[in-house]
């Protein structure tokens, strides 16, 4: 028994496996939460054509200057062959009159197809 004196008692070995496991689980849960949040609530971006249709549906023909600008800006996304050169007399001026009947009919005909 005298030779067995060099055997020492049981030593506590620090075990961090529970903390490591808890940290990994928390990171995975946070990742899943962010992934769910961004995939579920990701705002659908509208195409230029959809934006143009929305703007042209809400077009106010009583304000001829703003209507002329909006028509020339958004009409090309819906139909690229439409010619709105007659709107030049309603743009680029300080004071403009309301649309005359011929122009108003052209615009309304185009807006019916929108």
- pLDDT tens for residues 57-90? 998 888 889 999 999 899 888 887 878 888 888 8
**Exposure class string for 57-79: b at 16+ Cβ within 10 A, else e:** eeeebeebbebbebbbebbebee
25: left (phi over 0), alpha (psi -120 to 50) or beta: alpha
H or E stretch at 71: helix 64-78
The whole-angstrom separation of Cα 58 and Cα 110 is 14
Map tokens 């020492």 to a residue.
8
Q: Distances from the Cα of 99 to the Cαs of 22, 33, 53, in angstroms?
A: 70, 54, 21
pTM of the entire structure?
A: 0.59
pLDDT of residue 25 exceeding 80:
yes
Q: What confidence score (pLDDT) does residue 19 get? A: 93
108: left (phi over 0), alpha (psi -120 to 50) or beta: alpha
The whole-angstrom separation of Cα 16 and Cα 5 is 31
């Amino acid at each position: 028994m005298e030779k067995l004196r060099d055997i020492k008692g049981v030593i506590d070995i620090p075990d961090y496996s529970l903390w490591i496991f808890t940290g990994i689980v928390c990171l995975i849960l946070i990742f899943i939460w962010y992934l769910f949040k961004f995939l579920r609530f990701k705002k659908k971006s509208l195409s230029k054509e959809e934006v143009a249709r929305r703007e042209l549906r809400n077009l106010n023909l009583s304000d001829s200057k703003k209507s002329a600008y909006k028509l020339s800006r958004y009409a090309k996304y819906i139909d690229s062959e439409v010619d709105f050169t007659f709107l030049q007399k309603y743009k680029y001026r300080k004071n403009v009159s309301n649309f005359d009947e011929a122009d108003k009919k052209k615009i309304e005909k185009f807006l019916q197809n929108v």
